[in-house]
Chains A and B, each alone.
Chain A
Amino acid sequence: MAEKFKLNDHERETLIFNGRMIVAGVFIFLLISCLIAWMVYLQVYRYDYFAARSDGNRLHSQYVPPNRGLIYDRNGVLLADNRPIFNLTVVRETAQSLDISLDLLRSVINLTDDDIDQYRTRQSRRAVPHTSVPLRYQLTEEEIANIAVNQHLLPGIAVEAQLVRHYPFDASSAHAIGYVSEINKDEMSAMSVETAANYRGTHQIGKTGIEKTYEDLLHGQVGYETVEKNNRGQVMRVLDRTDPIPGRDIVLHMDAKLQVAAERALGDRRGAVVAIDPATGGVLAMVSKPGYDPNLFVTGISRAQLAELNRSGHTPLFNRAVASRVPGSTIKPFIGLAGLYNETITPETEIYDPGYFRLQGRTRPYYDWTWWVDKSGHGAIDLRRAIYQSCNTYFYQLAVNLGIEKIHDYLVTFGFGTNAAIDIPEASAGIVPSEKWKMENRGEIWYSGETPYEGIGNGIFQATTLQMAAAAAAIANHGVLRQPRMLRGTIGSDGEVTDVIFPDNAAQQQLLPSQEQIEIVRNAMVDVVNKPYDSEHRRHEGSAYPVLRESGHPLEYPMGGKSGTAQVVQFQVDSAGNRDNGEVDEQFRTHAMFIAFDASEKSRIAVAVFVENGGGGGSVAFPVAREVLDAYLVPETQNYPELSVVAENDH
């Protein structure tokens, strides 16, 4: 080909090259125009959007939880305080390979599948992104050290200090104070928008007892801070902060030492003790046994721990102090008062007790306890002796003479049948039966044969230990009922205690006989404990006196009381004719009751004791009640415990 040997055509090559360079120039112009247009779009047109995104990246609102208010007893002993613990927390957005991190953590600290399950639940409930969620609570120092060593392998995982609730008295105060635990889904959805906002930084909420009742007071107001965080979630600086308002510290009427003494007095028995200050209605002690350690619940109880708690079958979580049951003979003083008020009897009214009672025109006998002893009765007996001898026949007769309606109308004014307690909402109302009540609840008419049993507290009537204590306190207080209450006052920022005044309506509604008549009943209750054997007359001693005498320790203060024995199974007593509980299966044994009070002119304490399947009220429940009164009224006795925990929590 000729062309092959042609010399390069410089002119033509220059033209081609220049042409191509121009095309390239046009392309470059187009590309640069696109790029600039895109930059203008990003930086001018969408500036607001990206500026907001940038702020969203770095600025984080975080909630600062308020410190929960402390709970003190009447002497300034801490019943619930806040302690720093160290938690392992996860910020999900920063923890990229969480599963790998969890595997590593499992090898360096104690992390169970249960912990991880609980963490996932919390994670799913978390409302605010980029906030930390607890993975495990209460790391030990060794675990903290192990995590610190591996920190670089654990992105998004941190050890954070947190103040959590601590109950120094463990099981002793569990039922009265209650506990806080993690907020659950139901509680969260039940909150109003404002309340939910206030709980954004809070992990725990009061679940039972005082912690629940005074949640609003104890919680406080959440604070906020706006912080700048870097890519790894580290806070670089705090830009704005609204301090949280801590919850109010509160003071209870409770006496921590008495609470512990009451718990010890019950020993290993199941049961409840409630002690009340008659003048104020303040609850000095409220014990339910068996108890449980409320500290287990604070950071979430594991399934294994919960199973362990319930293993005994003795329902330690159940608050026996506020559960209702038949009161046995402890109801007799109030039936007596009803009789006096309604003028059905006078203090001088006597009946003849042959050892049993028969309804008019019926043959079925209602036996006195004496019948089971020696097939005899009390003979002629008045109200005072009927109380201190706990004569059934007298009260069978009185109940029948009163009729169920008058009994009902009278007893409700003593706080029975309603939860008269001001701030113990979980307390049961109990039952004060009437014809109306029976028709509504059992669909039956009232049978006259049921009325005698209401006179001795072994019928339908039910009351809680708390109600019995309050009613005993009313008698101790010369008839005037004070509604039971836990809260005494709040502590201001200056440390001064401001007493909380509750509207107290109970006393106005009370139906009271004359003051002298009340004193008859009060003194009869003093006789229950103190009236010694009468060498000339049989059955003129107080029903609890033999136990007092056997104890060998005379009382150092005037004490009144009334024992009661509630039948668990009617059959046991009626047919077998055998009141020796030692031969009966434990769960069929009678419940032992005792109500007692300081019988000084100005009474300082009233107590109700309930011992589940304990046996006889006089022999079992009376010593418990006495121990509690001793502890409170005779502090120098060894019964008033020295509390080592008090010193430990010196704040």
Chain B
Amino acid sequence: MASRSMSRSLGNDFYRLTGKRGGIRKSLCLDAPLLLSLFCLAVYGLMVLFSASGENVADVQRQAAAIVVAFIVMIGVAQFEVDFFRRGAPLMYAGGIGVLIIVLLFGSEVNGATAWLDLPGLPSFQPSELEKFLVPMMLAWYMSSRSLPPRFRDLLVCGLIIMLPAMLILMQNDTGTALMVAMSGVFAVLLAGISWRIVIFGATLVIMASPAWYIFLAQAHQKNRILTFFDPYRDPTGAGYNIIQSQIAIGSGGLQGKGWLNGAQSQLDFIPESNTDFILAVLAEEFGLLGVLILIGLYLAVLARGFYIALTAQDTFSRLLAGSIILTFFFYAFVNMAMVSGLMPVVGLPLPLVSKGGTSIVTLLIGFGILMSIHTHKRVLPR
């Protein structure tokens, strides 16, 4: 008897501690479908990375470590109440801007972009990646305190919130990330119900302005990338080399691929950046169209769960934040795949959860931690 009451009281204590009913999964505020799809993606990614890095075990170990850290961080983030993010949004946003300024002053340069921060004792770190959820968070905070759809004056403020970090990242010479950070903000504004007229007007403006940008503002390497996109063979051994070789890799993969570790293009070093931005080429060559479809399927699974979480979220802040994060994630994946396969001009963006790079994975999973937090910390509303 004593022992039974003992166990019950312990159990009660545990329930009291977590404030949750249900198993450990529930008590840790995790979302099983999301967790499972992300885990599959990460494992798939490690397999491809092993091949892409030329069977370099150390690279794969470092990446695996980053993934483990990222999952722990995600689980940690998921424990916070949504209110924490809501209330902390302005402060975190301001902190993010501060770090970006520090990067501009003290950052180290990799591949022409001054986007990295080398802190003693820590792995080097790319703070601009944080902005892809900090900007939507700030916007969600701002717009949820106003009525939707946002009015014109609110839009100007939103524009400022987006432009500030985007410009700072642009100054780091990291066009790809700047573009995606801006897009993550645009998604938040779009989801908030901005009038279609403004959207169409804005889109027209961008289309009209792009030739002017190309003529007057674009730098030589940007022009080159655009020209290369339209005709990779104008400089097949220079600017067009990456895209030509990556298309050859993808196309020669065929339906079933050449087999793991058997991609001729990949293993003979014909694909530059094969373990970072162009890793899709390795995947497509070795696993073929089927492998590509599995990858897209996994991304869609994550996306579908994200949509579900956004749609079932309880308040405007959660909805806007969840919606923007999941759309940003999808766009990362899509833009990378489109660029590697030659559907879009080349911008330096990693393939989420597959490309080598710790920061990208950690920040992505922080985003998913927020999604889980939104899904698992629902207030019981009176009906």
Contact = CB atoms under 8 A, between A and B. Distances in A.
| Mutual binders A and B | yes
Interface of A: 3, 6, 8-10, 12-14, 16-21, 24-25, 28, 31-32, 34-36, 38-40, 42-44, 46-47, 49-51, 53-55, 57-58, 93, 96, 228-232, 236
13 contacts: A8-B148, A8-B316, A16-B192, A17-B148, A19-B193, A21-B311, A24-B191, A32-B300, A44-B255, A51-B254, A58-B268, A93-B237, A230-B269
Contact of A54 (B190, B264, B292): B264
Given A24-B323, A230-B268, 15 more contacts: A9-B147, A10-B316, A28-B303, A32-B300, A39-B284, A39-B289, A39-B292, A42-B247, A42-B250, A43-B250, A47-B254, A54-B251, A54-B264, A57-B270, A231-B268
For the residues of B in contact with A, the DSSP-based class is helix
Nearest to A94: B237
B310 interface: yes
A34 B343 contact: yes
B343 A54 contact: no
Q: Which 10 pairs show the lowest CB-CB distances between chains A and B?
A: A50-B251, A16-B193, A54-B252, A231-B269, A230-B268, A43-B289, A50-B252, A51-B252, A42-B251, A13-B148
B311 A18 contact: yes
Interface string B159-188: 000000000000000000000000000010
B323 A38 contact: no
B253 interface: yes
A437 B296 CA distance: 92
B334 A31 contact: yes
Residue of A20, A38, A51, A55 with highest tally of chain B CB at under 10 A: A20
Interface of B: 147-149, 187, 190-193, 237, 245, 247-255, 264-265, 268-270, 284, 288-289, 292-293, 296, 300, 303, 307, 310-311, 316, 319-320, 323, 327, 330, 334, 337-338, 341, 343
B237 A96 contact: yes
Given A36-B293, A53-B251, A16 B269 contact: no
Contact of B250 (A31, A36, A50, A229): A50
A8 B147 contact: yes
Nearest to A29: B300
Contacts of B255: 43-44, 47
Contact of B289 (A25, A32, A44): A44
Contacts of A53: 248, 251-252
A21 B254 contact: no
A150 B300 CA distance: 51
B248 A50 contact: yes
Contacts of A230: 268-270
A22 to B, nearest CB: 9
A90 to B, nearest CB: 15
Nearest to B303: A28
A20 B251 contact: no
Contact of A21 (B191, B247, B251, B341): B191
Contact of B337 (A18, A35, A228): A35
A42 B292 CA distance: 12
A380 B361 CA distance: 122
A18 B251 CA distance: 39
A14 B319 CA distance: 9
B280 to A, nearest CB: 10
A28 B190 CA distance: 14
A47 B252 contact: yes
Nearest to B267: A230
B149 to A, nearest CB: 6
B139 to A, nearest CB: 13
Contact of A58 (B264, B293, B316): B264
Given A8-B148, A13-B193, A20-B190, A35 B289 contact: no
A232 B269 contact: yes
A163 B318 CA distance: 77
Contacts of B192: 16-17, 20
Contact of A6 (B147, B237, B320): B147
A108 to B, nearest CB: 26
Contact of A43 (B193, B251, B338): B251
Contacts of A34: 343
A16 B149 contact: yes
A10 B314 CA distance: 10
